[in-house]
Amino acid sequence: MDSLIVLLIPLLPLIGFIISGTLNKQANHTLINGLTCGSVFVSFLLSVILFYQLQSGSAPISYKLLNWIYVGALKLDLSFTVDALSSIMLLIITGIGFLIHVYSTGYMHDEPDYARFFSYLNLFVFFMLLLVMGNNFVVMFVGWEGVGLCSYLLIGFWFKNNAYNDAAKKAFVMNRIGDLGFLIGMFLILNKFGSLNYQTVFDLASHAATNDPTITVICICLFIGALGKSAQIPLYTWLPDAMAGPTPVSALIHAATMVTAGIYMIVRTNVLYTLSPDAGFLVAVMGVATALFAATIGLKQNDIKKVLAYSTVSQLGYMFAALGVGAYETGMFHVITHAFFKALLFLCAGSVIHAMSGEQDIRSMGGLRKKLPITHITFFIGTLAISGFPPFSGFFSKDEILAKVHEYNGGFMLFTILAITSVITAFYMFRLYWLTFWGNFRGNSHQASHLHESPKSITIPLILLAVFAASAGLIGLPHLFHAPHLLNNFLAPVIINAPTLEASASFEIALIVVSLIVLALVTYITYQIYVAKARIPVADADEKGISKWVANKYYIDELYNALITQPLQAVSTFANNYIEKYVIDGTVNSFRWLTNTGSLLIRQIQTGSIGLYIFGIVIGIICMFVFKFYLA
Amino acid sequence: MLAEIFSFKKILPVLVFFGLATALYFNFNDWSTYHSYFYNMTTIDNFSIVFSSLLIGAVIMWLLMAGSYYRDENKITDHLAIICFALVGGILMTSYTNLMMLFVGIETISISMYVLAASDKVSLRSNEAGLKYFLMGAFATGLLLFGIALIYGCTASFDLGVIAGYVSAGNLPQMFYVGLILILSGMFFKAGVIPFHWWTPDVYQGAPTAITAFMATVVKAAAFASFFRLFQMSFAGVAGWWIEILIIVSAVTMIFGNLMAVSQTSLKRLFAYSSIAHAGYMLMAIIACNDMGARSLILYAYAYSAASIGAFAFLIILINQLQTDHQDALKGLAYSNPLLAIFLAVILISLAGIPPTAGFFAKYYLFTTLISQGYVGLVIIAVLSSLIGVYFYLRPIIFMFQHSNVETKLKISQSSLAFFALVTLIIVILGFMPQLIIEII
Amino acid sequence: MNIISEVGINSYLWLAAILFSIGVMGVLFRRNAIIILMCIELMLNAVNILFVAFSVMHNNPAGQIMVFFIMAVAAAEVAVGLAILILMYRNMGSVDIDTMKKLKW
């Protein structure tokens, strides 16, 4: 029964995809809604059942579908395993996925390609489930590539716009760079441990020596994969561009689920990372650097979705910082809380964009709190959560990360940067909040006349997500409260041998107090700047000095373009014009010429004369005699 | 079993069809029984059953195909009689255990073919084909007989088993080897490999197309069955001696057969050269000279026969309706007769040896067999030459997809379309399940 | 006692080989199809001599039976061959094989 559930969870969205994918454009919306939302909802219910079984102490539940790849010593099954870690991911994917499906029914209501959109969404859910449920690296990789594909399809969903297509291609290419790292990592694992099955590899690895160079290389390769998928420096530039996709897609794929696949992968392989402190340190440094870097860019963005995108990159940096120091549960904790509040923020942004008739620039917004009360309240809760106001969820997870990084040996520098970053985070989030919902409306009259609160299918998911964004922190209360840390206890079977990092109670109190004061200060300052003095950000062209630099995202895209794209273009142009034309075509054509000429020559011996034919036969016989009797 | 065929030989095609079906049934009835007939001069073993089934099956297919060819001619009874007579010769060639039977079989099939090749009495080309085939065939028979005589002189027997015993006793006189070379020459001629191939292109082109189809399938398969049988059952003991000749001949045949086909514009002649090249590949099975070789030869013969009977069936339609077999006639076929074009494309792809068709797996098994015996160099030559083959087999397909000014629309009856579908089905089924044939013996 | 022991098998062998070669030469150098046909018959008869000689040498009747087969087959062959030649003569007015070069390359 349980194993049937395990099979059904990914199967239902796949069925939803297949059916809705084969429907035509005129298909009934109700049918598509029932099919796609329904399949994800049933998957969610099944995930809840599994979660409760694991919660009550059941062993991980497996289902083996078939003997997949049996080549020589390599034996890979297509099989699924649900343990504590994947169970949490299942709840996030199907739960938030369901809410976003419901939201999309409202948001995409007028879309002519309705069925296509929902079939892609279901396909994404299927691959994401595959990614987290597989019991070996190859199944994970299939899911990994699959979500990349869906991401590509959904970013370029409005494929008539060429800029969107470019964004989709950029996301795909950037991800491919990371995937290469993942692949190499997989091969190295296979080479080192002779298997790709999680259980086998981790059992063998738990006996391996610490600081084994091979394991360090494996960890770095896997981390490169995570860099691509989770949009970290230097492969982060695709994520802001990915905002070209419909907003529910940004919420589901580029905030809540797919981008956390890198985190999931590292938590899954925590045994290996624990064995390699060097790789861990690299992960932490990259995470911290990304967190700060993306947060500063977020300060100067004026597109509501771009701000959230950079914020996502920055928050993912936090998670990597936690993983790097060995606090895997904390990383997962932030994945969970972030999934709630960032999905919430994106959906609110979608609601705003919906109300603003497609306008995304916050300079044209303002004063929306009266027209969009529910969106306003829920967005406010999201802002508080991400900024880390107690007792909202972001506070608990972010403070836990800060505390763990502080306890990490030599982590003070990292801690300081993260603390500063969290101030910046609060700053840009409140800037966004004030500019959007307070002050006077700055859009045109057409937009003003259309301002309205979104329909129920949009607001209900917002309210539900807001409830979770506010309360999800309760699953991981700090030690201070002497309450059990529910998440850590639940995840304990999955995290093996990880170092324990416990902050002292006094430090935690200090952290809470200081962050409260600073956050209050930031709130006040931003209110002064953006509401009281109503300073609206200037047009991009008028930016000067450092702020111009930041507003242009440090010219990273331009740098990549000049350093990598242009030289590659030049080389391939050269190859196309010269190597292809003369060397390859020349060789091929000369073979063709040789064959044709040879053929024309040789066919001349077929003269049509019987005498010569018989002569040829006799010559043949004589040759055989000579060959066997005189040459032998 | 043989009487079965005789008794129906003067009656209508339908009866012949059922007669052949009955023969096929009796043929399989003998499965694994190893009966000997005619005072041990023929023995029905599984190898011969599989091959004679191929022959009978090919004749059945040929009947289905030639029905349209002979529709407006009144000499069908004569032709059917001679075809059945030739089939008897072919079956003897697959099941003989005595050189006398081999000779009788070869002559039965050859004389029938001389007549059939020249059967279009008013056509100069048909006359020429018949005469060329006859003169050279008779000459080759002389060679073969002289070889048999010398072998008989050494061994005092025509029985394959006795000869094999003589061979394995060792210390063979010079005369034996001379005889062996002459027998080889005779077999080479019947198999149509270079440099004994001269008759093949001219006769294939000149003979009536239906007869060419018969030659390319039944005669070819029978020739190779007898060739393989003779050298495996009698001369395997001196394999080291004759294998060198076979390797050279096979390599030369593959290269030059394919090369000469490249510049052909007449499709009929193209298939003639292609049959030479395929003969080169089938020689490789004889080089292997073991059970694996037998299996690959059988698969190859089935795949090649199926594809070439389809190809010639198409040529019959083409020549009947357009009076030409020039490749330009194919232009635009994919647009005027899309279904037919698809079937023809599958047939050509199978001949070229591209997966997932029967032709690919036939070549694949053949090459793995040869590699497992260490003939890597020969396999490399075979692969390279089949690349040339891909070039000229795919060219008709390209022609089919070219637009032309003259819309050639062929009138295809439902039954012939069904025939092509059947051929394509066989090719694809053998492509996906070659073990149907491979594991049969 | 028998003829082989008096003359020796080698003589028969040489006789047959020479006859066969004459036949081959005839086929090679003659242009008249009927003469070529006759030369082929000569080749077959050389083989027949060989079979009979070996048959007596080995005291084995199979060779002589083979000769009957060959004769029968040769007769059939000649019948078919002459029929084709008549056809050719009707169409071309000649039995010179060099006139038959329509099919080439």
**C97 contact A CB<8A:** yes
In this complex, which of B107, B132, B149 lies closest to C54 when CB atoms are compared?
A: B149
A606, B195: Cβ pair inside 8 Å? no
Which structure tokens are listed for B180?
A: 């062996």
> Which chain B residues touch C82 with a CB distance below 8 Å?
none
The pLDDT of B219-230, averaged and rounded, is 93
Give the model confidence (pLDDT) of A244-303 as tens digits.
Answer: 888 999 888 888 888 899 999 999 998 888 888 888 899 999 999 999 999 998 888 888
Q: Exposure string (b/e) for A383-405, b if CB count within 10 Å is 16 or more?
A: bbbbbbbeebbbbbbbbbbbbbb
Q: What are the residues facing A74 on neighbouring strands?
A: A71
> Which chain A residues touch B235 with a CB distance below 8 Å?
none
Which structure tokens are listed for A87?
A: 């169970």
B131, C84: Cβ pair inside 8 Å? yes
Q: What are the residues facing A82 on neighbouring strands?
A: A61
How many residue pairs from chains B and C have C-beta atoms closer than 8 A?
126
In this complex, which of A604, A614, A618 lies closest to C105 when CB atoms are compared?
A: A604
Which structure tokens are listed for A263?
A: 């985190």
Please report the pLDDT score of residue B3 as a whole number.
46
**C23 contact B CB<8A:** yes
Distance CA A86, CA A470 (A): 23
In this complex, which of C33, C87, C92 lies closest to B121 when CB atoms are compared?
A: C87
- How close B178 gets to chain A, by Cα (Å)? 8
**C31 contact A CB<8A:** yes
Q: What are the residues facing B274 on neighbouring strands?
A: none
Distance CA B112, CA A26 (A): 67
Say if residue B51's pLDDT is above 90.
no
Please report the pLDDT score of residue B272 as a whole number.
92
Cα-based angle B192, B194, B199 (whole degrees, multiple of 5):
50
Give the model confidence (pLDDT) of C57-94 as tens digits.
Answer: 888 888 999 999 999 999 999 999 999 999 888 888 88
Q: CA nearest C104 in A: which residue?
A: A608
C97, A609: Cβ pair inside 8 Å? yes
> Which chain A residues touch B393 with a CB distance below 8 Å?
none
Cis, peptide link before residue B195, omega less than 30° from 0: yes
Residue B193 lies in a domain: no
Distance CA A214, CA A272 (A): 10
Which residues does B contribute to its contact with A (CB < 8 Å)?
131-132, 135-136, 139-140, 143, 177-178, 181-182, 184-185, 188-189, 195-196, 198-199, 201-202, 241, 244-245, 248, 256, 259-264, 388, 391
Distance CA B321, CA B339 (A): 18
Which residue in C15, C39, C102, C104 has the most chain B C-beta atoms within 10 A of its own C-beta, making it the best mutation to test that interface? C102
Contact B130, C84 (CB under 8 A): yes
The pLDDT of A129-157, averaged and rounded, is 91
Q: What are the residues facing A361 on neighbouring strands?
A: A303
C-contacting residues in A 602-631 (Cβ below 8 Å): 603-604, 606-611, 614-615, 618
Contact C82, B125 (CB under 8 A): no
Contact B183, B167 (CB under 8 A): no
- How close B323 gets to chain A, by Cα (Å)? 22
Distance CA A33, CA A121 (A): 12
Q: CA nearest C100 in A: which residue?
A: A609
Distance CA B423, CA B358 (A): 11
The pLDDT of B68-76, averaged and rounded, is 63
CA distances from B49 to B19, B27, B33, B90, B303 (A): 17, 6, 10, 12, 17
Task: Kindly report the length of chain C.
Answer: 105
Q: Give percent of chain B with pLDDT exceeding 90.
A: 36
Give the model confidence (pLDDT) of A50-68 as tens digits.
Answer: 898 888 877 888 888 877 7
C69, B139: Cβ pair inside 8 Å? no
In three-state secondary structure terms, A77 is strand
Distance CA A281, CA A324 (A): 6
In this complex, which of C28, C31, C104 lies closest to A608 when CB atoms are compared?
A: C104
Q: How many CA atoms lie within 13 A of A351 on its CB side?
A: 33
Say if residue A500's pLDDT is above 80.
no
Contact B69, B209 (CB under 8 A): yes
B130, C87: Cβ pair inside 8 Å? yes
**A440 contact C CB<8A:** no
B128, C60: Cβ pair inside 8 Å? no
In the DSSP assignment, the letter for residue A413 is: H
CA dihedral (B248, B251, B254, B256) positive or negative: negative
Please report the pLDDT score of residue B406 as a whole number.
67
In this complex, which of A599, A608, A629 lies closest to B260 when CB atoms are compared?
A: A599
Distance CA B130, CA B117 (A): 5
- How close A584 gets to chain B, by Cα (Å)? 17
In this complex, which of A596, A600, A608 lies closest to B202 when CB atoms are compared?
A: A608
In this complex, which of B198, B248, B256 lies closest to A602 when CB atoms are compared?
A: B256
Please report the pLDDT score of residue B12 as a whole number.
55
Best CA proximity match to A265, nearest among A210, A292, A208, A227: A227
Cα A476 versus chain centre, distance: 24
Residue B433 lies in a domain: yes
Give the model confidence (pLDDT) of A326-354 as tens digits.
Answer: 889 889 999 999 999 999 999 999 998 88
Query: What's the whole-number average pLDDT of chain A?
Result: 87
Query: What's the whole-number average pLDDT of chain B?
Result: 85
If pLDDT is split at 50, 70 and 90, which confidence band does B9 have? very low
> Which chain B residues touch C92 with a CB distance below 8 Å?
124, 127
A617, B182: Cβ pair inside 8 Å? no
Query: Residue B71 burial by CB count (10 A; 0-12/13-18/19+): exposed, middle or buried?
Result: exposed
If pLDDT is split at 50, 70 and 90, which confidence band does B18 have? confident
Q: CA nearest A604 in C: which residue?
A: C105
* ipTM field: 0.94
In chain B, how many domains are there?
1
Best CA proximity match to A230, nearest among A337, A135, A295, A147: A147
Please report the pLDDT score of residue B33 as a whole number.
65
**Residue B364 sits in which domain range?**
238-441
Distance CA A231, CA A225 (A): 10
Residue B108 lies in a domain: no
C8: left (phi over 0), alpha (psi -120 to 50) or beta: left
Which structure tokens are listed for B241?
A: 């001696």
Of A23-37, A100-114, A178-192, B108-122, the range with the lowest mean pLDDT is: A23-37
Bridge-based pairing state of the strands B36-37 and B42-43: antiparallel
- How close A601 gets to chain C, by Cα (Å)? 10
Distance CA B330, CA A230 (A): 56
The neighbours of chain A, by the rule of 3 or more Cβ pairs under 8 Å, are B, C
**C56 contact B CB<8A:** no
Residue indicated by tokens 């701000």: A307
C28, A611: Cβ pair inside 8 Å? yes
Which structure tokens are listed for B363?
A: 């070549």
Say if residue B8's pLDDT is above 50.
no
Say if residue A1's pLDDT is above 70.
no
Distance CA B376, CA B373 (A): 8
**C28 contact A CB<8A:** yes
Of A21-25, B100-104, B351-355, the range with the lowest mean pLDDT is: A21-25
Contact A469, A393 (CB under 8 A): yes
In this complex, which of A613, A620, A628 lies closest to B136 when CB atoms are compared?
A: A613
Say if residue B4's pLDDT is above 60.
no
Please report the pLDDT score of residue B10 as a whole number.
44
In this complex, which of B134, B145, B202 lies closest to C44 when CB atoms are compared?
A: B145
Q: How many CA atoms lie within 13 A of B83 on its CB side?
A: 32
The pLDDT of A550-562, averaged and rounded, is 80
> Which chain A residues touch B388 with a CB distance below 8 Å?
595
Bridge-based pairing state of the strands B36-37 and A74-82: unpaired
Helix H or strand E segment including A70: strand A61-71
Q: Tell me phi and psi for residue A211, to 5 degrees.
A: 65, 20
**C65 contact B CB<8A:** yes
In this complex, which of B140, B245, B256 lies closest to A624 when CB atoms are compared?
A: B245
If pLDDT is split at 50, 70 and 90, which confidence band does B72 have? low
If pLDDT is split at 50, 70 and 90, which confidence band does A183 have? very high
The class that CATH gives domain C3-102 is: mainly alpha
If pLDDT is split at 50, 70 and 90, which confidence band does A127 have? very high
